[in-house]
Amino acid sequence: MRRSARLALHRGELVDGAEANRLAAAQARVRLREPKPGGRGRGLQAFSGGTAALAWTLLVAALVLGEMSPAIMFAGTAITGTAVAFVAVPARSRTRRRSERVAALYAVDGFCARSAEPGDRCRSL
């Protein structure tokens, strides 16, 4: 059941099991209580991208000069900065969007389940 809930959050859609959907919606609400990545995420992305660009430049300069010790340090910084800027920050934003979608779908699904009208608009969702 936990695996189904985790899969629902990963995909951003509900699964077949009602209990798994309830658990996924609860996990989504917990994730949504975290602060939005908005300004801080973009700032982190800009800082990491700038740091990575500087580190890549210094890495090339160190390799041209034949300095291996600084080149190793710059390579580590460049790779880490690039990973944070182009992988970690967008992944966090994607996770938040999918959590919002699961919470919204569960709210609509719960509302539709309580509806007693057979021809209700919720049935077509």
Decide: pTM greater than 0.75.
no
Model confidence pLDDT, tens digit, residues 1-59:
888 888 888 888 888 888 888 888 888 888 888 776 555 667 888 888 999 999 999 99
Distance CA 78, CA 21 (A): 41
What token pair was written down for 81? 């900065």
Distance CA 33, CA 69 (A): 44
For 121, counting Cβ atoms within 10 Å of its Cβ (0-12 exposed, 13-18 middle, 19+ buried), the class is exposed
Distance CA 98, CA 54 (A): 33
Cα 91 to chain centroid distance, Å, stands at 3
Q: Write the CB contacts of 70 (distance below 8 Å, at least 6 apart in sequence).
A: 58, 62
